[in-house]
Amino acid sequence: MNYDLTLAKINNTDFKLLYEKFIIGEKLKQKQYEILLAIAICFTNAKDVNVQQLGYRIVVEYCNQTNDYVPLYEIAINKGLYPVSKFIELHYVKDGKRNFFTEWNDAFTEQYAYGSIYQSEQQKQLVNFFSKKPYDTISAIAPTSYGKSELILSTVKEFAGRKICVLTSTKALLIQTKKRIQQISKSIFPKIVVHPEMYNPNDTSCLAVLTQERLLRIFKKDPTLAFDCVIVDEAHEMLEDNSRSRTLANVVIVAKKRNSKVAFKFLTPFLTDNQNLKTRYASYDIEGFKVSEYIKSEKYYLYDLRNHTGLKLYDQFLNKYVPISKNENIKSEEAVVKEYSGVKNIIYLNKPIDIEKFALSLAKVLPEVQSETIQIACDNIANYLQPQYNLLTCLRKGIIYHHGSVPDAIRIYIEDLYKKDDNIRYVISSSTLLSGVNLPAEKMFILDNKKGRHNLSHDSFKNLVGRVCRFSEIFNKNSGTLQRLEPQVYLVFGKYFAQNSNCEKFLRNVAKVEQKYQDVVENVLLSQTNITSNNEEELRHASEFIENYENGVVEDYNERYVSTTVGKACIMNGINEIDIFMYEEEIQKQVDIYICENMQISNSSKLLEIINELFIKYLSDQGMDSLKRLSNKEARNFYAMMFEWRIENKSYSEMINLFVGYWKQLYEKNKEVMIYVGKWGDVKHSGSNVPRYTKLDEKNRAQVVNLAIVRIKEEQDFIDNTLIKYVEVLHDIELIEDKFYARIKYGTDDENEICLIKNGLSLSSAALLIKKYSKYLQIDSSASTVIYNKNLISEMNKEKENQIQICEIQSCI
């Protein structure tokens, strides 16, 4: 038998002629099936990993086509794919077919039982690897579904009574991770810190689930805080060239500086070399475990709407496109999705504006679903926001959409709805799905080849397609099916792909199995990043920041140190939009004048004026448009108004009406007025190449309402992520009244409401609980802890509270 087979050799034989018919599902003769099966067994014993995987793919396809799962059972047993063999044994091996070998295998696989699931050989090895090295720095590189959540849980238990932090890349993932952890953590940690203000320096132990920005603020709050373990989820994001990736590297560096024995646990679905996770200014060895098992074998389809060539299958092993059908009736992305969709489907688009546009277009071609659950959900969303919200039109057709400008409470609610109601078949999402958000789906439609400004990389693409057919869906005892071992991924080449795209080349670049992929390491704070004349200045600024934040981090440091109170406050609050070192003395002179005048900021208008006077004029020229707008008095008035709405605890519905009214006033004064709407813009301002503005003259109320909804979310995010840093600086240098500071930061100065907000609730939900359900709460504001009575949710349901708020509160309990 020839064990030196390669895909290239296979491609030069007649095998491909039979294989192409087989892989697109053509009915073959029994003899042909037998030939393919014999070849597949030969392939699975080859030395070449890609040839082995091709053999496995043929066996899976054969079994799914013929419903004869004996070959797959034997392959799964031999390769340690015990979830597959156990599923076959439970569903396809009848009692009359059982023999000594099936009984022996059944007993053998019991050692891979883990609760109600069965682990594969490498899943078990990964768990063992983790458990044997609790205090070492390690990396786990494993696809979605391999149980990284369980690794987090086991590590939390291991560090009971000590200080451990789980770093998540998004607030959505933070909420999801906290929810998973809290059931096992209640008996070993007094609380889960999810907000900097929840942290108490006097606590002897600490379990924190935070984004990197929130951890940076806690490190500022307590200069002595040293974690024993830091788990970095979605660790591959540290490699990227952006401010959030640098902040992630910063907190790793600080954690190592404060405790030389800290154990880092880097978790990621993909990485070529775990040494690329090493930072500058912090020395640690990384021992890694990388999963190489091949359980799912994706089937990639390309539907080319531009060239009208119909549907083709792309085979990632032989690197060939095989035509399937040329349906002349399919002329749009909506028609492709409708024709080929499954029970649950994820549709990927890059831009939020395209997501909403496509969602509405898809809704037009789908029938209305009959579901009392959906009708109740629509009523709740209409009351919480406005009846004209685009999502309601989509929801009635079984569609939800998911992007960064959907209000947080709505996103939590509709994700839960999608999981529970089979009538909701489509989720249309941006790259927010890439950061670990888990939603069930059996098919994926990729309508856009971009992530941000760049093409989807191989890693981002694989991470995206890994979101379909999760193990929990494949091997579910009641609803599972081995058809899902072949997730179907459709690339639809149409109007959302970049104009100059070559769709066939793109798919080859991201999916071909023989393609050699390397990590792209661009974060200047990582030791493997190549420093050139293009990024050496960026490294200097990053090094200045980290050394000034945590003195002593950078050995032989000979760059600048801040020398003023305001300069130090800016560094500690992560102000990186200004060259603090250059302008700190000028800013400090003005601060000294304010202090001599005993100034205490106590209203929103004054706050915005001072931020403008102290900081805005020193902004760099590049990429600071959002902040630079504050040099304009109208923009300052607008944000002062936003702050006042927060202080007055305006509901989302009220804010929408106020937003629409505000725009209407501007329009009545000047019919040609251009409204700033950021990424939702369709009009370019003079001197700009990017449309960031819009005009109201051609828009109806529904369009204006939907613009208001997304802009409120974006403006709130701008306040919470950017403006609040400047508020913190002013508070640190004692220029703001304490009560006003609390109302700006939280929307309230009520200690109990603040405690609920620190524990993850929105202001509106916190205020509702204090007003109507305080007897169901045990609040210790000094310790920032809340204990919820088990009857709270049933009482809220009895009182017919909005289900969106109930869902939000449930996510925090």
CA 547, 548, 550, 551 torsion: positive or negative? positive
Contacts of 453 (CB under 8 A, 6+ apart): none
Rounded to an integer, the average pLDDT of 524-548 is 95
CA 614 to chain centre: 35
Name the burial class of residue 580, with classes exposed (0-12), middle (13-18) and buried (19+) by CB atoms within 10 angstroms of its CB.
buried
Lowest mean pLDDT among 32-41, 274-283, 625-634: 625-634
What's the number of CA atoms in the CB half-sphere (13 Å) around residue 563? 8
Which residue carries 């109170």 as its tokens? 565
> With 60 as the cut, is the pLDDT of residue 57 above it?
yes
* pLDDT at residue 784 in the model: 84
In contact, 706 and 392? CB cutoff 8 Å? no
* pLDDT at residue 338 in the model: 95
Domain 121-290 matches domain 301-511 at the CATH topology level? yes
- Separation CA 214–CA 198 (nearest Å): 11
Rounded to an integer, the average pLDDT of 323-346 is 91
Angle, CA 437 vertex, CA 713 and CA 230 arms, to 5°? 100
* pLDDT at residue 136 in the model: 96
Instruction: Give the three-state DSSP class for 553.
Output: coil
pLDDT in tens, 622-681: 657 788 889 999 899 999 999 999 999 899 999 999 999 989 998 888 888 888 888 898
pLDDT in tens, 444-499: 999 999 998 889 998 889 989 988 999 999 999 889 999 999 999 999 999 999 88
Rounded to an integer, the average pLDDT of 100-119 is 80
Fold of 301-511: Rossmann fold (3.40.50)
- Separation CA 604–CA 610 (nearest Å): 10
What CATH class has 121-290?
A: alpha beta
Question: Mean pLDDT of all residues in the chain?
Answer: 91
> With 90 as the cut, is the pLDDT of residue 146 above it?
no
* pLDDT at residue 622 in the model: 66
> With 70 as the cut, is the pLDDT of residue 67 above it?
yes
> CA-CA-CA-CA torsion for 243, 249, 251, 254, nearest 10 degrees?
-130
* pLDDT at residue 320 in the model: 95
In contact, 447 and 348? CB cutoff 8 Å? yes
pLDDT in tens, 594-633: 999 999 999 999 999 999 999 999 988 765 778 888 999 9
Instruction: Give the three-state DSSP class for 527.
Output: coil
The backbone torsions φ and ψ at residue 70, rounded to the nearest 5 degrees and listed phi first, read -65, -45
Q: How confident is the model at residue 799 (pLDDT cuts 50, 70, 90)?
A: very high
In contact, 812 and 760? CB cutoff 8 Å? yes
**Tell me, what amino acid is at 38?**
A
The ranges assigned to domains in the chain are 7-118, 121-290, 301-511, 562-743, 750-812
> With 70 as the cut, is the pLDDT of residue 349 above it?
yes
Instruction: Give the three-state DSSP class for 277.
Output: helix
* pLDDT at residue 104 in the model: 73
- Separation CA 544–CA 281 (nearest Å): 12
In contact, 52 and 46? CB cutoff 8 Å? yes
> With 80 as the cut, is the pLDDT of residue 2 above it?
no
pLDDT in tens, 774-796: 999 999 988 888 999 999 999 99
pLDDT in tens, 411-422: 989 999 999 999
Contacts of 317 (CB under 8 A, 6+ apart): 7, 50, 53, 54, 57, 513
> With 70 as the cut, is the pLDDT of residue 95 above it?
no
- Separation CA 485–CA 716 (nearest Å): 42
* pLDDT at residue 676 in the model: 86
348: tokens are 């990927």
Of 149, 147, 204, 145, residue with least CA distance to 173? 149
Q: How confident is the model at residue 94 (pLDDT cuts 50, 70, 90)?
A: low
Neighbouring CB atoms inside 10 A of 651's CB total 16
pLDDT in tens, 677-733: 888 988 888 777 888 889 888 888 999 999 999 999 999 999 998 999 999 999 999
* pLDDT at residue 98 in the model: 65
pTM: 0.93
Q: How confident is the model at residue 74 (pLDDT cuts 50, 70, 90)?
A: very high
